[in-house]
């Protein structure tokens, strides 16, 4: 199956700074890449996603970039706030109807 790697595993930033999380995937057939935010003991929440026919997508302070040739995609959070503190997971899937393979997660801490 798909293998998704995610870096860094932990990330601390000052409030207002930017945070970048990177993921790589192994299956070139994957074409859907969501990012999830998960708070302790709760279900993952979709924050942004991107499909393989798009190189970049932005939603307010959050953006995702995709390089299909290199098989990597990144999450960018600007103007970070303490409430952004959580664990973030990237995932890859063949399409929106298929199972996700999740990255290993990044614990983000935004220091006030």
Partner 1 sequence: GAVVSQHPSRVICKSGTSVKIECRSLDFQATTMFWYRQFPKQSLMLMATSNEGSKATYEQGVEKDKFLINHASLTLSTLTVTSAHPEDSSFYICSAPHWSSDGYTFGSGTRLTVV
- Interacting residue ranges for partner 1, rule: CB under 8 A: 1, 6, 34, 36, 41-46, 49, 89, 96-105, 107
> In the bound complex, what is the minimum distance in angstroms from residue 73's beta carbon to partner 1?
16
Rank residues 18 and 96 by Cβ distance to partner 1 and give the closer one.
96
> In the bound complex, what is the minimum distance in angstroms from residue 55's beta carbon to partner 1?
20
> In the bound complex, what is the minimum distance in angstroms from residue 69's beta carbon to partner 1?
25
> In the bound complex, what is the minimum distance in angstroms from residue 76's beta carbon to partner 1?
19
Rank residues 16 and 58 by Cβ distance to partner 1 and give the closer one.
58
CA end-to-end span of the chain: 40
Nearest to 62 by CA among 111, 25, 20, 24: 20
DSSP-derived secondary structure letter, 93: B
Rank residues 80 and 93 by Cβ distance to partner 1 and give the closer one.
93
Distance, in Å, from the CA atom of 84 to the CA atom of 77, rounded to the nearest integer, reads 9
3-state secondary structure 30-64: CCEEEEEEECCCCCCEEEEEEECCCCEEEECCEEE
Rank residues 28 and 95 by Cβ distance to partner 1 and give the closer one.
95
> What would you report as the CA-atom Rg of the chain, rounded to the nearest whole angstrom?
13
């Amino acid at each position: 199956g798909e293998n998704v790697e995610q870096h860094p595993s932990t990330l601390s930033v000052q409030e207002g700074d930017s945070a970048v999380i990177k993921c790589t995937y192994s299956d070139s057939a994957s074409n859907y890449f969501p990012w999830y935010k998960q708070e302790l003991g709760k279900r993952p929440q979709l924050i942004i996603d991107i499909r393989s026919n798009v190189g970049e997508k932005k939603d307010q302070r959050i953006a995702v970039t995709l390089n299909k040739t290199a098989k990597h995609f990144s999450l960018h959070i600007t103007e970070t706030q303490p409430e952004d503190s959580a664990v973030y997971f990237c995932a890859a899937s063949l399409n929106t109807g298929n199972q996700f393979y999740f990255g290993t997660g990044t614990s983000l801490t935004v220091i006030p």
